[in-house]
Amino acid sequence: MEIKEDKNVWTDLLELKALTENTGAIHELQVYQLKMWARFAFEGSTEIKINTEGHRATFCINVETEPTLHMLNGLDRSLKDLLGNYWSLIVENNGVAIFTSLGAKKKKRKVSDIIDRLKKQDV
């Protein structure tokens, strides 16, 4: 997907979210946004591990003062805004999980339902 200059970044991110929800692919702009969020939220270094098959993002931080619950909930909302509601979030501080948020169950679609829908769209 080509990012166009005439649109705002949020519009691009919403289009990428739809792409992620349909294909599981994650664009570098989405990863960049998560990295910037981590830079804002956590002092020090942050490693982000993204598991596309498991729909899980793990933020590995090493800080003395743990982030507030408000900050962690904000990160969770941002992750779901960027990638979809079915994504889970884990935040680890010095190797210990300090926050976990499960994503919504992803609705499984039957192949026959997808074919029927495509036929109705005349594709």
Higher pLDDT, 64 or 88: 88
Count other C-beta atoms under 10 Å from residue 108's C-beta. Answer: 6
Contact indicator for 73, 43 with CB cutoff of 8 Å: no
- pLDDT for the residue numbered 60: 95
| Beta-bridge partners for 88 | 56
pLDDT confidence of residue 112 = 67
pTM value is 0.75
- In the chain, how many H helices and how many E strands? 4, 4
Q: Is 45 left (phi over 0), alpha (psi -120 to 50) or beta?
A: beta
pLDDT at 7: 64
pLDDT at 83: 94
Query: Which residue type, as a one-letter code, is found at position 68?
Result: T
CA angle 32, 90, 10 (to 5 degrees): 30
Q: For the chain, what is the mean pLDDT?
A: 84
Q: What is the pLDDT of residue 97?
A: 96
Q: What is the dihedral of CA 41, 46, 47, 48, to 10 degrees?
A: 0
Summarize pLDDT for 113-123 with one digit per residue, the tens.
666 666 776 64
Per-residue pLDDT tens digits for 48-57: 999 999 999 9
